[in-house]
Amino acid sequence: CYLRKKNPSKRDSLLGQEQGTWTIANTTLSRSHSSKTNFLSFLPRFRTDSTMGAKSQLRSRKPGGKNASGKKTESETSSATVGGILVGSIVVGLLAAYGLGLLSPSTHDSTLPPATAARIKNWKHFSEAKLANATEAQEGLIRPLPSDRLQRWNPVRVGFERKLVLDDTGKVFTMRTMGMDPPIFEIDNFLTKKECRYIMKLANRTGFMKSDHTYLDGSNYDDKDKDTSTIDTEDEANKLFRYSDQTWLQPHVDKYLQDALDRVMNLGLLPEQVRTDSEALQVAKYRDWGHYESHHDSEKEDMGPCCIDPWAKKQGMETGVYAVNKPLTKRCKLCRFMTVLYYLVDTEEGGGTIFPLADMSDAYVKAWQTNVTNPLMYKQTRDCENEKGTKVYPKAGKAVMWYNHKVDRGYLGPLDVRSLHGGCNVKKGEKWIANHWMSAIQHPDYPRDYATAGF
C-alpha cells in the first residue's frame, strides 16, 4: 500500500508491469494509475461462504437470532470469530501477493464472452506517458486509459496510425494522424450508424434553434436576432459568419451518449474532472451554403479566468456574445482543451472541416495574425479545396480530434493559435455534426486575473 500511494513508479518497477488486468481464482482486478483509486476497492468481489456454520447457529437460535437469555450463543460467537480470521487472512494474503508481484497478467477475462476475450487477448498496455509520447509504431492493440493530468498524443507523422481499444466491447478503432501542429487525428466509425441516427433523432426531438451568426469581433452584434429562415441565395448566406441550426444534448441522462463520452475520456487520456467540467453535446445541422467561418473553439489568456473556474462562476462572469456589452471584470473565457467533432451523415458535396494554419510556418501564421484588414481573413471555408492547410472530409460515424490548447504542467496551457478551423460550405445535401468540447482549468499557480481584452 505504501508503494502504491507514495511511490507508484517504484511500485511499477517492482511489479514489472505498468498497467493491466490481474487475475486470482478467475476474479478480475482492474488496476488504475489514479491516485484516488482505493486498493481495497476490489475486495467486495471476493466472498467467503456465508453459510459456514449456519446449521449449528440455527440449532441454538430462537426467533430473533438470540438464545433464550437474549445473548449470542457460544457457537455463534466462535463462528463469527473464525469468519473474521478467514477474511483477515485473505486480505493479508492478497496484499502480500500484490506487493511482491506474484499476481500474473490475465490473458483471459472470464467475465467477457469467449469471442470478445479472444479478440482482446493481444492488448498492449503502456503507461500514460509512454502512450502519449510514443515516437515509433507500437505493436498490437493499445488500450488507453484516463490519466490524472492533461497530455497530448504525439502525432509522430501525417498518416501514422494507432490501433486503439476504447471500451470493453473489444472493437478496434484506427486513429490516423492528419496534422502535426496542432496534432489532428481522425477515427473512422467512432460512432456506429445506429448511434448517429439516434443522436439525430434526439436532436430533432429536442428542437433546433438558429446558431449565433455574429462575427468574432462582435461588429454585427445588432444583427444577432436576424431571421435566417428566409435566406434563399448563396450571396445572402455568405454574409453570415455562421449559417446553421443547433441544439444541445445532456450526455449524463442517456446511455448512448454516455457510452460515446466514455470513449472520448479514454481516447483523450483525460482526468475524470474533465468529464464534470465539460459542456453538453452540441448537435448542428447545415443546409445549402451552410458554413462556419474559421474560428477557435477556445479563447486566449488575456480574456479572463476560465468560465468553469469556481471563482469566475461566483462572480457571475460570462463569455461570447453574452459578454459583449459587459465590463471586462465580468468576462471569462472558454477553456476547451480538446475538441472531438463527429460527422453524423455522408454529405453529398462540401461540408468538410479545414484547419488553415495547421502545419504552417511561423512566418505564415504571423502574417495571418497581422493581416487584420483583409476582408477574407476568416473566409477560408468558401472553397476549401483550393485553400492551404489540413482538410478533413465528412463521413458518417467519423470523429475528428484536435487540441485547442497546449499543456502546462499537466493543466491547461496557452491557446494553440494553429487550432483555427472552419466548416466548409455545404454545396449539395445536408451536413450534420456533433461536438464534444472537453474543458479543463489552468494550473493552481496560474493567477486569476480579470480580462484585459474582449474579442
What is the predicted pLDDT for the residue at 38? 35
DSSP result, 143-192 = -----SS-------STT-EEEEE-STT--EEEEEEEETTTTEEEETTSS-
Q: Are 171 and 375 in contact (CB under 8 A)?
A: no
Look at residue 34 and tell me whether its pLDDT is greater than 90.
Answer: no
What is the predicted pLDDT for the residue at 406? 96
Mean pLDDT of the chain: 75
Helix axes 255-267, 193-206, angle to 10 degrees: 120
Average pLDDT over residues 198-216: 85
Q: Phi, psi at residue 399, to the nearest 5°?
A: -115, 145
Relative to beta strand 123-124, strand 141-142 is: parallel
Give the whole-angstrom CA distance, residue 178 versus residue 392.
Answer: 8
What is the predicted pLDDT for the residue at 192? 96
DSSP result, 280-325 = PEEEEEE-TT-EEEEE-SS--GGG-SBTTSHHHHHTT-B-GGGGTT
Q: Are 23 and 106 in contact (CB under 8 A)?
A: yes
Look at residue 384 and tell me whether its pLDDT is greater than 50.
Answer: yes
What is the predicted pLDDT for the residue at 333? 94
DSSP result, 91-155 = HHHHHHHHHHT---B-S--TTS-HHHHHHHTTEE---HHHHHT--S---SEE-----SS------
Look at residue 134 and tell me whether its pLDDT is greater than 70.
Answer: no
What is the predicted pLDDT for the residue at 79? 52
Look at residue 146 and tell me whether its pLDDT is greater than 70.
Answer: yes
Which of 198 and 223 is assigned the larger pLDDT? 198
What is the predicted pLDDT for the residue at 168? 86
Give the whole-angstrom CA distance, residue 232 versus residue 255.
Answer: 39
The secondary element (H helix, E strand) that includes residue 14 is helix 8-15
- CA 274 to chain CA centroid, Å, is 7
Relative to beta strand 405-408, strand 399-403 is: unpaired
Look at residue 149 and tell me whether its pLDDT is greater than 50.
Answer: yes
Instruction: Compute how many other C-beta atoms are within 10 angstroms of the C-beta atom of residue 234.
Output: 12
Which of 368 and 27 is assigned the larger pLDDT? 368
Q: Which of 2-16, 54-68, 189-203 has the highest mean pLDDT?
A: 189-203
Whole-Å CA distances, 448 to 242, 311, 409, 439, 442: 32, 8, 17, 17, 9
**Residue that has been written with the C-alpha cell 494474503 in this structure:** 93
Confidence of residue 373 (pLDDT cuts 50, 70, 90): low
Confidence of residue 113 (pLDDT cuts 50, 70, 90): low
Look at residue 377 and tell me whether its pLDDT is greater than 50.
Answer: yes
**Residue that has been written with the C-alpha cell 502535426 in this structure:** 180
Q: Are 346 and 198 in contact (CB under 8 A)?
A: no
pLDDT tens, position by position, 238-294? 878 888 999 999 987 788 899 999 999 999 999 999 999 999 999 999 999 999 988
What is the predicted pLDDT for the residue at 375? 61
What is the predicted pLDDT for the residue at 231? 82
Least confident of 196-210, 241-255, 417-431: 241-255
Instruction: Compute how many other C-beta atoms are within 10 angstroms of the C-beta atom of residue 257.
Output: 21
For 177, the grid coordinates are 494522424
Look at residue 95 and tell me whether its pLDDT is greater than 60.
Answer: no
DSSP result, 395-414 = -TT-EEEEESEEEETTEEEE
Among 57, 90, 51, which residue's Cα sits nearest to residue 74?
57
pLDDT > 70: what percent of the chain? 64
Look at residue 413 and tell me whether its pLDDT is greater than 90.
Answer: yes
Which of 138 and 236 is assigned the larger pLDDT? 236
**Residue that has been written with the C-alpha cell 445473548 in this structure:** 71
What is the predicted pLDDT for the residue at 197? 97
Give the whole-angstrom CA distance, residue 231 versus residue 254.
Answer: 35
Average pLDDT over residues 403-426: 95
What is the predicted pLDDT for the residue at 191? 97
Q: Are 358 and 155 in contact (CB under 8 A)?
A: no
Give the whole-angstrom CA distance, residue 107 versus residue 86.
Answer: 29
Whole-Å CA distances, 159 to 162, 175, 184, 393, 412: 10, 9, 11, 15, 27
- The half-sphere exposure of 272 on its side-chain side, counting CA atoms within 13 A, is 6
Is the full-model pTM beyond 0.85?
A: no
